Amino acid sequence: MAYSTPVLDSPAKRSGAARVVEVPMSHPLRDTFRSAPTQATRGDRVGFAAVLRKSPLAYGAFVVMSLIVFGAVFAPLMSPYNKDKIDLTSQYLAPSLDHPFGTDDLGRDIFVRVMHGGRISLAVGFLAMALALLIGVSAGGVAGYYGGWIDTVIMRAVDLMLAVPVFFVILFLTSILSPKISVTALCLMIGCTQWMEVARLVRAVVITTKEHEFVDAARTIGLADRRILVRHLLPHTTAPVLVAITLGLAQAIIIESGLSFLGFGVQPPTPSWGGMLQDAQSYLSDCPWIAVFPGLMIFLTVVCCNVLSDFLGEATNPARSGHR
Amino acid sequence: MLRYFVKRLAAVFPLVLLVSLICFALMQATPGGPSSVLSDNPMVTPSDAAQMRSDFGYEKPVLVQFGLWLKRVVLHGDFGRSHVTGEPVLDMIKQRLPASLELMGAAFLLAFLFGISGGIMAALRRYTRLDSTIMLVTLVGISIPVFWLGLMSMMAFTVKWRLLPSTGMFSLGMPFSVADHLRHLLMPALVLSLLFIASWSRYMRASLSDVLAMNYVNVARAKGVSGSDVVFRHAVRNAAIPVLTVIALNLPALFTGSIITETIFAWPGMGRLFYDGLLRQDYTRLMGIIFIASFLIAILNLIADTIYGVLDPRIRLAR
């Protein structure tokens, strides 16, 4: 929603054949940390973990994110309580050792439900971004490689998608599907509306990379366009795409929980972070913990994605490492 | 300048058309069609339902229907009648639009003021404690989901400290006063704007830092232009251009945020009207609102483009 790099409608870019190559503007989180992580130089291979450990904030984000994912994946094995079982003898219990996050209006343990809720949010987030990656990389790669009218058509579609109040349209769709909204449908809808950033980045990298001699060489030895694009050009897009996809993951999670919050996500009793927040609205004054913990999980996940995305950007971009 | 403006205008309107066509087609794909609300009502006899369906023109092919709908919208500003209340959709929107524009306008203003000035401050004091504080606060700001922020601030400001009212535009049963109204506006506007404050100040900081490192800034300094003149007359003006794109790109997000904010704070605007329409499957209303929202976003984008042209002659004069 908010992190798209600025290109839409920048009229300079609309000048037909002489399109300016879009150089994505800096990441919204640039310079969050005063000491940028060290850049591994050539011949001096440093493991991911070693680089990560140099940046405490990113390291923390990695650990927290791993914990959240771990909790979500193994939720069914670790739950001391049944996530959906209504227990009218333990309603509205404040956080305690028995119920670390308290219990809700139906006596269900919030900690257990939060872990299970993560399964929905994270699954939707990851799957939607996988779809967005697929669409974005193909669209951007084809647009950048072939150029001409193909490029114009695809980039117009990108501009269009960026200017549309996508959330309205998704809500409209979910209300048509409701109350039978499946995880698949959510992934499809979110994935189909989050690919534009990736497409723009991939296109920009492909346009600059295809001018290199090794591409001419590949063409001379008779490689097919598809092979040149997939095997020789797309690998160059890994770093920026990784950064965009991590930011996109945060977006997808926010959209999914926003939909659930409005009642158009995965339907109850299946716990989801947004859905739990919707229920919590009625108990704000007496039982704040019902609202605090599910929201905190969304917030933590999104912070971690944002920080990690920034870290990846810094770590993979030599131009940006070090002080400026 | 005029030619540039007209060209941008021509690029914007196909967009609104396409969005409405897509929604129109989706509406037809609903189980039982868009009039299922009518036929599901036990008080409506099948013959009544058929009559209404033909009144709404639902047996015609989708494209013909879309043409007719568009014709009515463009010529008469007629979005049809709500399936649920029977009111003309345009009247419903007209009633709710001012409240939405007020909320979004207030949020935009807050975001613009605090976002831009925060960004400038951070860029001028880079790598100081002020800068790190701003960066940390904005990290929270871009990461916090608006609905949770809404609930948390309600819990803090209304339930706990009893400082601000949590719902509606006015206190009920009290004579209208501007102060009371502003008190009601403050929390929703702040909640809606935080994301944009955070994101715009980050972009402003990045953009201004880049510009301040440019040679022409050094030249201006070397020639003895005073510090604040260098920053405000030379650097900020150039740094504002990419930030403006971000602002234009964020407009759909502002509308999205307003649906959620209006729902939480019971703010009687268009977002809430949309949400009610969703709950009641009132498709004519939803179509009308999506059309108006895309139209407004398109117009605002156009304004942003024009400001662009004014700020940067290179863009205006290109082709």
CA nearest to A253 within chain B: B145
Q: Which residue has the tokens 């870290």?
A: A311
CB contact B30 to A (< 8 Å):
yes
Q: Encoding tokens for residue A12?
A: 């300079």
CB contact B1 to A (< 8 Å):
no
Q: Encoding tokens for residue A261?
A: 């919050």
Tell me which residue in A165, A284, A299 faces B159 most closely, judged by beta carbons.
A284
The string of pLDDT tens digits covering residues B81-130 is: 887 787 888 999 999 999 999 999 999 999 999 999 999 999 999 889 99
Can you give the pLDDT at residue A317? Answer: 66
Tell me which residue in A8, A34, A284 faces B248 most closely, judged by beta carbons.
A8
Tell me which residue in B151, B242, B252 faces A281 most closely, judged by beta carbons.
B151
Can you give the pLDDT at residue B307? Answer: 83
Q: Containing H/E element for A110?
A: helix A110-146
Can you give the pLDDT at residue A313? Answer: 83
Q: What angle do CA A90, A95, A97 make, to 5 degrees?
A: 90
CA nearest to B317 within chain A: A12
Amino acid at B150: G
Kindly determine whether residue A2 and residue B308, on different chains, have CB atoms separated by under 8 Å.
no
Confirm if A116 and A276 have CB atoms less than 8 A apart.
no
CB contact B33 to A (< 8 Å):
no
Confirm if A273 and A114 have CB atoms less than 8 A apart.
yes
Closest CA of chain A from B229, distance in Å: 23
**End-to-end Cα separation, chain B, in angstroms:** 11
Can you give the pLDDT at residue A2? Answer: 40
Round to whole Å and give the CA distance between A134 and A127.
11
Kindly determine whether residue B26 and residue A28, on different chains, have CB atoms separated by under 8 Å.
no
- Which of B151, B211, B238, B285 is most worth mutating to test chain A (most A CB atoms within 10 A of its CB)? B151
- Beta-bridge mates of residue A103: A109
Q: Count residue pairs from A and B with Cβ separation < 8 A.
A: 201
Round to whole Å and give the CA distance between B283 and B164.
35
Output the average pLDDT for chain B.
85
Q: How far is CA B62 from CA A147, A174, B21, in A?
A: 34, 21, 9
CA nearest to A23 within chain B: B242
Tell me which residue in A12, A171, A302 faces B278 most closely, judged by beta carbons.
A171
pLDDT tops 60 at residue B1: yes
B263: which chain A residues are within 8 Å (Cβ-Cβ)?
A: 262
Kindly determine whether residue A30 and residue B318, on different chains, have CB atoms separated by under 8 Å.
no
Kindly determine whether residue A302 and residue B143, on different chains, have CB atoms separated by under 8 Å.
yes
Write b or e for each residue in A285-320: b if 16 or more Cβ atoms lie within 10 A of its Cβ, otherwise e: eebbbbbbbbbebbbbbbbbbbbbbbbbbbbbbeeb
Going residue by residue through chain A, which has 324 residues, state the pLDDT in tens, using 9 for 90 and above.
444 344 433 333 333 333 333 444 455 555 554 444 445 444 455 567 777 788 888 999 999 999 999 999 988 887 777 777 778 777 777 788 778 888 887 888 888 899 989 999 999 999 999 999 999 999 999 999 999 999 999 988 888 888 778 888 899 888 888 777 888 999 999 999 999 989 999 999 999 998 899 999 999 998 998 899 989 999 888 888 988 899 899 999 999 999 999 988 888 788 899 999 988 888 888 888 888 999 999 999 999 999 999 888 878 765 544 433
Can you give the pLDDT at residue A62? Answer: 92
Can you give the pLDDT at residue A47? Answer: 67
Closest CA of chain B from A49, distance in Å: 23
A10: which chain B residues are within 8 Å (Cβ-Cβ)?
A: 245, 308, 315
Round to whole Å and give the CA distance between A284 and B159.
8
Can you give the pLDDT at residue B238? Answer: 87
Can you give the pLDDT at residue A28? Answer: 54
Kindly determine whether residue B255 and residue A4, on different chains, have CB atoms separated by under 8 Å.
no
Tell me which residue in A11, A163, A324 faces B252 most closely, judged by beta carbons.
A163
pLDDT tops 80 at residue B157: yes
CA nearest to B14 within chain A: A160
The string of pLDDT tens digits covering residues B11-66 is: 677 777 877 787 777 777 766 666 666 666 666 777 777 777 776 667 777 778 88
Closest CA of chain B from A166, distance in Å: 7
ipTM of the shown complex:
0.87
Kindly determine whether residue A169 and residue B290, on different chains, have CB atoms separated by under 8 Å.
yes
